Amino acid sequence: MEHRLWGGRFAAPTAEMMRRFNDSFRFDVRLAEADIAGSLAWAAALRETGLITEAEHERLVQGLTVVRREFESGRFEPREGDEDVHTAVERRLYELIGEPALKLHTGRSRNDQVATAFRLFAIAAAQRVQRGLRGLQLALLEQAERHTATLMPGYTHLQRAQPITFGHWCLAYVEMFERDRQRADDATIRARTLPLGAGALAGNSLGVERERLTEDLDEFDAVAANSLDAVSDRDFVAELLFVFALTGVHLSRMAEDLIIYSSAEFGFVELDDAYSTGSSLMPQKKNPDSMELLRGKSGRLLGNLVTLLTVLKGLPLTYNKDLQEDKEPFFDSFDTLDLALQVAAAAVATMAVRPERMAAALDDAMLATDLADELVRRGVPFREAHGKVGRLVRRALELGVPLRELPLAEYQAVQPDLDTEIYAVFDFARSVARKASLGGTAPERVREQCMRWRATLGGAGAA
């Protein structure tokens, strides 16, 4: 027989094009494991309330276990009438155990059933993304541990600013991705609210103890306090899509840096061949396609977030079919980010760092602030010191020499008490070492940050 979860009041069948428009099995099949987990918990609740017998409960468990194995092994065979994964599971369960399968949906609606399964999937997805983020952080940390004192230019406005260490650059992204991990964890806290037992919208009237359900579904910490909100809430999807999108933005920023740094003009790093591609025309080309795709896919992640927010913005309480559009954006963002994090971690772990190219890009003008600081130490107010050093920079440009080769007379013209000791400022390692405030780029501070992150993230240190 055709297995449908509705249709008794309909005199005519669903139009074929409407069926194709309405059906969601092709994408929500991914919820099979979560759906079965929810059904097992619901079957236990039905048994405890006396709505099914011990024997019926045993048959339901046996049947659902078989269906779960079929999905896990790829042997599950969908039928044309499978409107969604929930229909498919119940249909297959009926084929396996007969009459008891018709009792599984007692007191339950697809509204609370779907919301429960989706939350279970989302919680697992968030945990996987957190693991991916940790993997990327570890790759960055290992590079930082190797390069705590490797000097490079730091940039603002993509103009050379002050010298920093490459290790410090790596740790900046470790910090950034840690906030993404924390946001995923925070969003998961709210996803752990169980909607099962809320029925279609008004609750259930068959005596099912909803609090008991959290014992069988230990991913949940509490039950939804309002049945209307329980079946219509998709905040957990929106929050995680935001986390995924912002993580994508951070990946894009890192990728942009590495695209620039791997160019011939910079040459600070070289991506491994395994994470680069070539040109079909130009034999010499080595393109940073892994990074370019990370940068490009951030737009996809942002678009999926906007898609869901647009779906939600005009919905009245409670459930509306529009909410079927919550899954494809989520699945796509999760899949995109999951692979992106793996690629990013591998590309960072295997890239070659070129300290000599970084050192060659250092410029005396980047020590202008150090020069101003030296004047401050001699009692010159900073605003005056800034102006004096600005005039020295201009004079060096006019003479076509670096600041360290500017004659002493030029320095004394702006600050008469200066002597040859002023030239000690022009030492990039000294400059970096002096940035020893908490969170600064001084190698000792970078090593401290590395130790803190190693304790936080675990794993073996860089060789």
pLDDT digits (tens, 9 = 90+) for 415-446: 999 999 999 999 999 999 999 999 999 999 99
* Residue 22 belongs to domain with CATH number: 1.10.275.10
Provide Rg for the chain, Cα atoms. 31
- Asked, for residue 328, whether it belongs to a domain, the answer is yes
- Asked, for residue 462, whether it belongs to a domain, the answer is no
Pick the closest to residue 453 from 129, 168, 245 (CA basis).
168
Q: Mean per-residue pLDDT for 199-217?
A: 94
Domain C-terminal end among 52, 75, 106 = 106
pLDDT level of residue 276 (50, 70, 90 thresholds): very high
Domain C-terminal end among 53, 72, 106 = 106
pLDDT tens sequence across 101-134: 999 999 999 999 999 999 999 999 999 999 999 9
pLDDT tens sequence across 17-32: 888 888 999 999 999 9
Pick the closest to residue 151 from 130, 169, 126, 178 (CA basis).
169
pLDDT at residue 414 greater than cutoff 50: yes
Classify the C-alpha dihedral 274-460-450-462 as positive or negative.
Answer: negative
Q: Looking at the structure, tell me whether residues 159 and 74 fall in a common domain.
A: no
Q: Mean per-residue pLDDT for 449-457?
A: 98
- Predicted pLDDT of residue 50: 97
Q: Mean per-residue pLDDT for 265-270?
A: 98
Side-chain half-sphere exposure of 309, counting CA atoms within 13 A: 12
Q: Looking at the structure, tell me whether residues 72 and 121 fall in a common domain.
A: no
- Predicted pLDDT of residue 1: 43
pLDDT at residue 10 greater than cutoff 90: no
Q: Looking at the structure, tell me whether residues 218 and 337 fall in a common domain.
A: yes
pLDDT at residue 367 greater than cutoff 70: yes
- As for how many domains the chain has, the answer is 3
Domain range for 423: 364-457
Q: Looking at the structure, tell me whether residues 201 and 303 fall in a common domain.
A: yes
- Asked, for residue 3, whether it belongs to a domain, the answer is no
Q: Percent of the chain having pLDDT more than 70?
A: 98
Pick the closest to residue 241 from 322, 316, 337 (CA basis).
337
pLDDT at residue 6 greater than cutoff 70: no
pLDDT level of residue 15 (50, 70, 90 thresholds): confident
Q: Mean per-residue pLDDT for 182-191?
A: 98
Q: Looking at the structure, tell me whether residues 140 and 77 fall in a common domain.
A: no
Q: Looking at the structure, tell me whether residues 208 and 230 fall in a common domain.
A: yes
pLDDT at residue 364 greater than cutoff 90: yes
Q: Mean per-residue pLDDT for 233-244?
A: 98
Domain C-terminal end among 45, 80, 106 = 106
Q: Looking at the structure, tell me whether residues 238 and 98 fall in a common domain.
A: no
| SS3 track for the chain | CCCCCCCCCCCCCCCHHHHHHHCCHHHHHHHHHHHHHHHHHHHHHHHHCCCCCHHHHHHHHHHHHHHHHHHHHCCCCCCCCCCCHHHHHHHHHHHHHCHHHHHCCCCCCHHHHHHHHHHHHHHHHHHHHHHHHHHHHHHHHHHHHHCCCCEEEEEECCEEEEEEEHHHHHHHHHHHHHHHHHHHHHHHHHHCEECCCCCCCCCCCCCCCHHHHHHHCCCCCEECCCHHHHHHCCHHHHHHHHHHHHHHHHHHHHHHHHHHHCCCCCCCEECCHHHCECCCCCCCCCECHHHHHHHHHHHHHHHHHHHHHHHHCCCCCCCCHHHHHHHHHHHHHHHHHHHHHHHHHHHHHHCEECHHHHHHCCCHHHHHHHHHHHHHHCCCCHHHHHHHHHHHHHHHHHHCCCHHHCCHHHHHHHCCCCCHHHHHHCCHHHHHHCCCCCCCCCHHHHHHHHHHHHHHHCCCCCC
- Asked, for residue 463, whether it belongs to a domain, the answer is no
Q: Looking at the structure, tell me whether residues 173 and 203 fall in a common domain.
A: yes
CA distance 54 to 59: 9
Q: Looking at the structure, tell me whether residues 96 and 121 fall in a common domain.
A: no
* Residue 264 belongs to domain with CATH number: 1.20.200.10
pLDDT level of residue 169 (50, 70, 90 thresholds): very high
CA distance 394 to 50: 89
- Asked, for residue 1, whether it belongs to a domain, the answer is no
- Predicted pLDDT of residue 5: 63
Q: Looking at the structure, tell me whether residues 193 and 133 fall in a common domain.
A: yes
Mean pLDDT of the chain: 96
Q: Looking at the structure, tell me whether residues 178 and 307 fall in a common domain.
A: yes
Active site residues: 157, 279
* Residue 385 belongs to domain with CATH number: 1.10.40.30
Query: Pick the residue with more confidence: 5 or 426?
Result: 426
